[in-house]
Amino acid sequence: MTEQWFPSRWPAQFPDRIQLYSAATPNGRKVGIMLEELGLPYEPHRIDLSAGDQRHPEFLRINPNGKIPCIVDPSGPEGASCSVFESGVILLYLAEKARAAGNTNSLMPQGPHERWEAMQWLFFQMAGFGPMIGQFGHFYKFARDKTSDDYGVNRYSAEAKRLLGVLDGRLAGREYVVGDAFSLVDIALYPWVLALDFYGGKDHLGYATFRHIEPWVERCGARPAVQRGLVVCASSAS
């Protein structure tokens, strides 16, 4: 976290709101969905990844790692402004902000056992599910003609299948990943499952054999706030 700073390249029309700098990628969609679900006032700014906005010096002042999403909150902890990057951390930050404001559904379970259970599955997404699905997509869709063999496709196909199996097993007999209610864990995982459509890899991975995932996808996708969050920062408008 750093001090508040609104980059002039993406001017804030509403500087009293959370400023979101993002794109409609799986990681970016997480934060759009979270903000919509919580109903927190925010102002979105689209970061054009194809134009290299993420490498612009003003963006790097918000996130030195040059990745989306990131936020600037003018009313952070103890009233001080701050910036936050890394999508999983942003989800936790927004959940805590909503809880502190009295939101009865912060999308983070509050019981001690469920809270740690949620943390485990959130980090499952951050450390494994998202990166490995992303690597599968890279080699399957974008790099098949750029390598001399099928090692990359085979390696990440196997790992993607394994991780889908883990998620499928978790969802057996459950409506959502943690507890009985939709949570930030579902928000973290859902856009990465949707990414399989973009990569065109569902049949290759035997997606239909994971019987519990698609009903969960449909439950998540039926939520109006999820539908709104998916398209945040998808247009060319700031």
Between 3.30.565.10, 1.20.1050.10, 3.40.50.150, 3.90.850.10, what CATH number should domain 112-224 receive? 1.20.1050.10
65-105 tens-digit pLDDT: 999 999 999 999 988 899 999 999 999 999 999 999 998 89
10-66 tens-digit pLDDT: 999 999 999 999 999 999 999 999 999 999 999 999 999 999 999 999 999 999 999
Residues linked to residue 44 through DSSP beta bridges, in sequence order: 20
Range with the poorest average pLDDT among 66-70, 142-146, 160-164, 173-177: 142-146
Question: So what's the pLDDT on residue 148?
Answer: 86
Alpha-carbon distance of 20 to 29, in angstroms, equals: 11
104-153 tens-digit pLDDT: 899 999 888 999 999 999 999 999 999 999 999 999 999 988 888 999 99
Q: Which CATH superfamily is domain 18-107 in?
A: Glutaredoxin (3.40.30.10)
**Per-domain boundaries in the chain:** 18-107, 112-224
Alpha-carbon distance of 136 to 130, in angstroms, equals: 10
Band (7; pLDDT cuts 50, 70, 90): confident
Question: So what's the pLDDT on residue 236?
Answer: 44
Edge-first strand order for the sheet with 42-46 is 42-46, 18-22, 70-73, 82-85
